[in-house]
Structure 1
Amino acid sequence: MIAIAAVLALLCPLFTRMLCPELKLVRPNFQKKPIPAATGLSFLLPLACYPPLWPAIAFGVLGLADDLWGDRSVGGFKGHLKSLFSGKPTTGSLKLFGGGLIALGYAWFLFPGKWLQVFVAASVIALSANTLNLLDLRPGRAFFGFGLLLLPALALTPLTFTELWPLLIVLTIEWWSDARASAMLGDTGSNLLGALAGVLLVQSLPLMGQTVLLVVLLALNLVSERLSISAMIEKTRWLKWLDQKLGAR
């Protein structure tokens, strides 16, 4: 059984690279080289084996809709809300409201009747997904953000991750491809990984820890509405140095 799971985990990235051209999900990267642009699809099958993590799959599906049909001329919370209220809804607004409902439903499942904790947990999941989406503009950034978000959960519940080793195989393969700029996660992958981190965090952290994390994520998302994260990284010496170590530049 273990051998079968390992083989399937290894085949997921290969199958994804065959599927992306069929779905017309090949895009030029920041170096103008055409590469598979939705390798987050690789995570769907491994995650399907773990029902407690299924909300991340739902976020990945919403991201896939954005990869397939999204309008890149509209961005940010303001842009998608403005389009929605002007009668021209975008896939971004679908992610905004659909992801919010998924996060609220899952938070209610975890903390039934505890309205404050439901609100905080749902916000952490939704903002974690959007944060990784914001970071996924250069190779390696989204995976680095994913690792940072997971640190508290790893510290509190390390045994949980030993059960996820097929997913860890896929993560390693896709991290290597992403860092080398030979494949892109797409919104499929960045939304999925962000939601996955959020789900694991709300399962692990107490309410106070979730609240602190929520404040940090909310601040980052609000800043990104006015300032470019890439521009901020370029203007900050130590951030630029760190960013250059994450992948191809």
Structure 2
Amino acid sequence: MLTRGPLGLSLAAAVGVVAARAALRTTRRVAPRGVLDRTNFRGRTVSLAGGPALAVGASAAAALGAGHPAGAAAALVAGVGAGAVGLYDDIVGARPDQRAAKGFAGHLAALRRGRVTSGLVKIVGVGATGVAAAALLSADRRRPTGHPAVRGADLLLGAGVIAGMANLVNLLDLRPGRAAKAGLLVAGPLLTGPSAGTAAGTAGAVLGLLPDDLDERVMLGDCGANSLGALLGVALAQRSGPLGRAAALGVIAALTAASERVSFTQVIQRTAGLRELDALGRRTP
């Protein structure tokens, strides 16, 4: 485990960059031809290899930077677990029979007809990894103990923050670099205190892949976006107690609910500042 001083945080970020780049090269080499190819919003063929690369690189670096075994285990479970079910949905969800089910309601409707969709597997899997990661964080003996009901609520709130962030970041992954930039903005304030090492390792991996993402050579997909969000959720949970987790979960829930009614892409395009930040570094048509 690395220390949380400036040198330790810099090393965690550097490990994130190197691990993500190495994982990207490996993914490109071992993935069967065409399996990870997708068409992006501009009609270009882009590889989903960025997703596994981010999941592996960010999870490893966040675990190294966490500073204690419980935090390291939580980062690995959240990052790898959310990334794995996201990758399953990226691959299986591309099949024609899976594309009809959209949103949580669509997946539940398919289940009522006796069909388990890849999206439902992802929803359940991300929720399970959130619970497991929050339970590992609660095992950290340095966290204050209290009434069992308070500890139980704290665990559920932590699970909600981790799973909710995984879903929210995935909702932003509609344009090159958008989810990555959002992840960096969230990670910035978390680079102090108990969450510092987790956030630094995660941010390093994002920075390592951001040029390829912006240049439309790779995309994060559900795998990368879910993993990134889950790791940011772990950092948020590390930094806060029940009240802080409840506040974070309230914001996450509000933004998620808003996404059902409004298009984040349209809001960004209509808002000065957000529009320029969203386009920053992206290749021109």
Instruction: With the length of structure 1 as denominator, give the TM-score of the two structures.
Output: 0.86
Unpaired runs of 5+ residues, structure 1, are none
Residue 165 of structure 2 is matched in structure 1 by 128
The aligned runs of 1:17-28 (5 Å cut-off) are 17-22=28-33, 24-28=35-39
Which residue of the other structure, out of 98, 101, 112, is the alignment partner of 1:74? 101
The aligned runs of 1:91-170 (5 Å cut-off) are 91-111=118-138, 113=148, 114-157=151-194, 160=197, 164=201, 170=205
Residue 226 of structure 1 is matched in structure 2 by 261
Instruction: With the length of structure 2 as denominator, give the TM-score of the two structures.
Output: 0.76
Unpaired runs of 5+ residues, structure 2, are 1-10, 64-71, 140-147
> Shift in Å at residue 160 of structure 1?
1.8
Deviations 1:212-248 (A, max 9, x none): 1111110111111222221222333443233222634
| C-alpha spacing 1:169/1:103, structure 2 compared with 1 (3 Å) | closer
Residue 201 of structure 1 is matched in structure 2 by 236
Which residue of the other structure, out of 27, 35, 40, is the alignment partner of 1:16? 27
Residue 185 of structure 1 is matched in structure 2 by 220
Residue 89 of structure 1 is matched in structure 2 by 116
Which residue of the other structure, out of 247, 257, 260, is the alignment partner of 1:212? 247
CA distance in structure 1 between the aligned counterparts of 2:279 and 2:162, rounded to whole angstroms: 28
> Shift in Å at residue 157 of structure 1?
3.8
Deviations 1:143-202 (A, max 9, x none): 1121222233213347525983xx655432311111122210111100111101111111
CA RMSD in angstroms, aligned pairs only: 2.6
> Shift in Å at residue 7 of structure 1?
6.4
User: Quick one: which amino acid aligns to residue 15 of structure 1?
Assistant: T
8 Å CA contact retained: 1:152, 1:201: no
